[in-house]
Amino acid sequence: MQLERILQKHGFGTRKACRSLIRHELVAVNGQISDNPFAEIDTNGLIFTVDGVDWPYAEFASLMLHKPSGYECSRKPLHHPSVLSLLPMQLRERDVQPIGRLDEDTTGLLLITDDGQLNHVLSSAKRKVPKVYLATTKHPIDQGQIDQLLTGVLLNDEPEPIAAAACEIAGENLLRLTLTGGKYHQVKRMVAAAGNRVEALHRESIGELQLPDDLKPGEWRWLSAVDMKKLGYLA
């Protein structure tokens, strides 16, 4: 693929803007400055550098973000900044979007992609991808609440009770629960229906993919092939 086209695909602006970056010797290919916008580059395993920042060639931009509190998952947020504002401009230019939504005050693992198929597969209700949440509750958790959450609680507007796939006491006011659905405010509504109240909510994992300990709130990282496997997604 032509170098100019690679930059354009990765969100570095118009062809003209990309050409200018290359002509100004701001672009390196596998460590070597390249000033030819029309050079044919093998994209297999390619790392290119723009103005000192390394970029892996990525057919799709798929990443994980440690969502901090105070950000909305919408592309057009109403009251708080969008999670997308935490990403470099080049990724936003690629039209990435969150896979599913976390509430503004929920923290933890959020996946973001411009790969429509990945988004579809992971959001699909049929696939029942398990998501693990850690909820801090207002009142101490008791076994009765756990039992209710495991048996199923009735939520407004839902025809049938909804049960957690797994649920355990993780501390006096800490509840770890696994859901396979993604209904609006589902954890908060389920915990309220069981007679408690969520004061803080954090998503620890999606499928087998855990939020890495060293990914701090507000930080993001590319999804690797291993991560994709943990999500049960082999493109």
Question: Cβ closer to ligand URA: 8 or 107?
Answer: 107
Interface with ligand URA: number of residues (CB under 6 A): 8
CB of 152 to ligand URA, least distance (A): 16
Residue 63 makes CB contacts below 8 A (sequence gap 6+) with 87, 91, 96, 111, 112, 113, 220, 221, 222, 223
Binders of ligand URA among 107-146, rule CB under 6 A? none
In terms of CB distance, is 102 or 231 closer to ligand URA?
102
CB 133 within 8 A of CB 201: yes
Q: How far is the CB of 192 from ligand URA (least distance, A)?
A: 9
Residue 56, exposed/middle/buried by CB under 10 A (0-12, 13-18, 19+)?
exposed
Site for ligand URA in 155-194 (CB under 6 A): 185-188
6 binds ligand URA (CB under 6 A): no
Nearer to ligand URA, 7 or 201 (CB): 201
Q: Which is nearer to ligand URA, 56 or 81 (CB)?
A: 81
- The one-letter amino acid at 18: C
Q: At what angle do helices 143-151 and 186-193 cross, to 10 degrees?
A: 120
**Site string (85-104) toward ligand URA, x via CB under 6 A:** -----------------xx-
In whole angstroms, the minimum distance from the beta carbon of 6 to ligand URA comes to 36
* Cα 120 to Cα 98, 108, 116, 127, distances in angstroms: 11, 21, 6, 10
What are the backbone angles phi and psi of residue 131, rounded to the nearest 5°?
-125, 130
Of 201, 206, 211, 223, the residue at the interface with ligand URA (CB under 6 A) is 201
Q: Which residues are catalytic?
A: 103
Per-residue tokens: 19:
């050409």
List the structure tokens of 18: 């990309």
- Binding residues for ligand URA, per CB under 6 A? 102-103, 106, 185-188, 201
